[in-house]
């Protein structure tokens, strides 16, 4: 087959798939609605959204993103996500092409179009199109896109029994290499750590920083409970300033559970009564083992259970209803 024949065949295949999807009322094979994407002022089925190959987000990972959860018809902590997005854009000297209130409108519009009470929002800003070469100066304007889709990071059965972690052989880059507080499109460190964990039969990776202290998991923050106290590493040890993490710290204070940010080593996980991860995608998920050794009782613990119940309420009180918005 020549290159143009290959192109024609693949185009025919994807057109067939699209018309099948339309015939099925925009439902995916799983029966769930397919994702939708805001791009250049239009919301289209996610399968149809395309960006040009000269976008530096694709060529160099030059850009940033947010992962935002929609639960029970509400967008969780939308303004906090937007604030982190804006701070990350500043750190990358990336000028957002629209003002933050417009980004907010884009997110809510796309979530409304998706019309599903539980979903995941992937908001992206790329440096935009430019000539080949890493230089961001000739690029732009920056491109915004907002994908709303379903997500399931861990199967229900694993969430119930607790997930298995392994310590990654990769270290989290120090802030003077690539600041982990910026949710940049450069996620290879996370991808390779996750790959290593999965190929070693675990669910998720524990990443240490260059000093050997716990930074976070591949795509989630880490908490331990020891002697009734909740502890999580400071962001300066190599963690993202997680929105779920901040919520858990606030809920702990409200519930009277002592909680603090402090540096942790692997020792602190082995010695912990409980360990769990937090993230927009992961939610709150208990850890049952690290490197093949059980943590605490080897099942999700009672402090996590209390926080989960409070978190479910927080999803209502801290969520923006997208129908009314």
**Footprint of ligand PMP on this chain (CB under 6 A)?**
67, 190, 216, 219-221, 240, 242-245, 278-281
Cα–Cα distance, 160 to 168 (Å, whole number) = 24
Least distance between ligand PMP and beta carbon 12 (Å) = 37
Comparing CB distances to ligand PMP, the nearer of 119 and 139 is: 119
Least distance between ligand PMP and beta carbon 131 (Å) = 30
φ, ψ for residue 80, nearest 5 deg? -70, -40
Comparing CB distances to ligand PMP, the nearer of 67 and 140 is: 67
Comparing CB distances to ligand PMP, the nearer of 281 and 298 is: 281
Please report, in angstroms and rounded to a whole number, the separation of the first and last CA atoms in the chain: 52
CA nearest neighbour of 268 among 227, 302, 305: 227
Strand 36-39 and strand 143-149: pairing? antiparallel
Q: Residue 232: CA atoms inside 13 Å, Cβ hemisphere, count?
A: 25
Comparing CB distances to ligand PMP, the nearer of 34 and 221 is: 221
Comparing CB distances to ligand PMP, the nearer of 187 and 270 is: 187
Residue 55 neighbours by CB under 8 Å, 6+ apart? 126, 127, 128, 129, 143
Comparing CB distances to ligand PMP, the nearer of 284 and 295 is: 284
Least distance between ligand PMP and beta carbon 147 (Å) = 14
Least distance between ligand PMP and beta carbon 102 (Å) = 22
Least distance between ligand PMP and beta carbon 139 (Å) = 25
**Are 265 and 288 contacting, i.e. CB atoms less than 8 angstroms apart?**
no
Cα–Cα distance, 195 to 236 (Å, whole number) = 25
Question: Coil, strand, or helix at residue 220?
Answer: coil
Least distance between ligand PMP and beta carbon 190 (Å) = 6
């Amino acid at each position: 087959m020549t290159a143009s024949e290959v192109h024609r065949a693949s185009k025919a295949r994807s057109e067939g798939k699209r018309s099948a999807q339309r015939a099925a009322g925009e439902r995916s094979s799983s029966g769930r609605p397919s994702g939708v994407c805001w791009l250049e002022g239009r919301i289209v089925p996610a399968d149809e959204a395309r960006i040009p190959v000269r976008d530096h987000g694709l060529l160099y990972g030059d850009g940033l993103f947010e992962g935002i959860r929609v639960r029970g018809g509400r967008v969780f902590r939308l303004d906090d996500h937007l604030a982190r997005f804006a701070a990350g854009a500043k750190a990358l000297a990336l000028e957002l092409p629209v003002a933050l209130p417009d980004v907010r409108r884009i997110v809510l519009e796309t979530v409304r179009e998706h019309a599903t009470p539980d979903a995941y929002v992937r908001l992206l800003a790329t440096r935009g199109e430019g000539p080949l070469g890493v230089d961001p100066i000739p690029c732009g304007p920056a491109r915004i896109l907002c994908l709303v889709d379903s997500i399931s990071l861990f199967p229900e059965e694993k969430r119930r029994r607790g997930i298995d972690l392994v310590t990654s052989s990769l270290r989290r880059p120090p802030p003077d290499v690539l600041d982990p507080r910026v949710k940049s499109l450069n996620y290879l460190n996370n991808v390779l750590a996750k790959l290593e964990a999965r190929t070693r039969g675990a669910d998720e990776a524990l990443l240490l920083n260059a000093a050997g202290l716990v930074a976070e998991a591949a795509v989630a923050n880490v908490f331990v409970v020891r002697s009734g106290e909740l502890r999580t590493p400071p962001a300066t040890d190599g963690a993202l300033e997680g929105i779920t993490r901040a919520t858990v710290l606030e809920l702990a204070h409200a519930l009277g559970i002592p909680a603090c940010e402090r540096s942790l080593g692997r020792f602190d996980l082995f010695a912990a009564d409980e360990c769990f991860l937090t993230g927009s995608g992961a939610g709150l998920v208990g850890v049952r083992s690290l490197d093949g050794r059980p943590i605490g009782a080897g099942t999700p613990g009672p402090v996590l259970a209390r926080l989960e119940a409070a978190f479910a309420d927080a999803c209502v009180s801290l969520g923006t209803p997208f129908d009314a918005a």
